[in-house]
Structures are given as structure tokens and as C-alpha cells.
Amino acid sequence: MTSTTSLSNASELRAKIQTLYSAEEIQQGVANLAKEILQDYKSEDGIFAVPVLKGAFMFASDLVKELNSIPLELEFIRVSSYGTGTESSGNITAHNITLPNLEGRDVLIIEDIVDTGRTADWLIKFFTNMCQARMVKIAAVVDKPCRRLESFKHIKPDYSCFEIDDKFIVGYGLDYQQEFRNLPYIGFIEDIN
């Protein structure tokens, strides 16, 4: 966002953001989620955590700190489906995948949001079929089941901090045209289009 018009639009949008979950509520949600995860991951190999960039970076940082009592390896993956708008393009694109051998490992995909289910489905299949992981689960800050496409109704994060209705959210890693990721809370914007 380099033009004056774009900066002006970002400022106008920022003024419209309403808090949905405060930073404190998010931290409590992450702590509760970590307790659930620790109950499920008992393998001596621990967890191979895979945060999905860019949106999950804040959540991943907070979550892995809470999972400090078990062995944990970490590698990022970048997957995109949105392009520049607010609707998924439907095409999943993976970038810079450099993963070790995950055959027989327990993988925890760390996502910002499970929305249509398309990306989550792609990730589950990738780690299960291509990487031969033993167990693949998804932890998401937000689950938005009201937007799940019919062919992905079976997709649900194994762990999520919050379930929301059809709001357009930003903050805590979630963006609108690459803006607002740095907000410490999750907010929503009415009438984004």
C-alpha cells in the first residue's frame, strides 16, 4: 500500500474495525487449546507443527510456547487461495515447501481460520498422502463453519479457539489486502465490499 489513496482507505477501514475478541480472550483461548492438544499428543516423537503463512504466524508463536512440555519441531508452509479479494479463488497454491521426512510422524497444522474448508482439505490430504504422516490434525484460531462449502462439510478443525458466524475478521495475523495483521486482537469489519 504505497499510494496516498491506499493509506487513506486503510485508515478509514481501521476506524471501522470493531473488536470481536480481545488480546486477553485470545491468550486464554490459546492456553485452553494447548491443554487439549497436550492431552492428544502422547507420542515420544512429540509434534511436528506446521504453521501456515502468513495468517497463522501470531497464533503459532503463542501456541508453541504453550506446548513447551513436549518435544516439538517446527516448519512453515505457505499456502494461498485468496489472491487480493475477500473470496477464495478456489485454487490452492503451495509455496516453498521444504519439509523433512514426515512418514509416521504426528503433524499439527496451525491455521488462522478454517473457512470454506478447501485449504484445510488440501493440507490434510497433502500431509496424509504425500508426506505419509501418521496423524494429521488442525488447530485454528477461528472456525467459520457457516462458510463451509458443501463438498467440505466434513472438514472441521480438531482444535479451535473460537467459532464465528459470517463476519469478515482481521487482526492477530488475519488480514485484508495485507493490512491489519499486526492488530493484537481479532476485529470485524461490516460491509467490507
- Quick count: other Cβ atoms within 10 Å of Cβ 171? 23
Q: Is 115 in the active site?
A: yes
Locate all alpha helices (DSSP H) within 17-117, ordered by sequence: 23-40, 57-66
169-170 β-sheet, strand order: 18-21, 186-188, 169-170
Listed in sequence order, the residues at least 6 apart from 54 whose beta carbon sits closer than 8 Å to its beta carbon are 78, 173, 175, 181
Q: Tell me whether strands 106-114 and 47-53 are parallel, antiparallel or unpaired.
A: parallel
Contact 160, 145 (CB under 8 A): no
Q: Tell me whether strands 77-80 and 93-95 are parallel, antiparallel or unpaired.
A: antiparallel
Catalytic residue chosen out of the listed positions 62, 106, 112, 115: 115
Listed in sequence order, the residues at least 6 apart from 83 whose beta carbon sits closer than 8 Å to its beta carbon are 89
Buried b (16+ CB within 10 A) or exposed e, 75-84: ebbebbbeee
Active site residues: 115
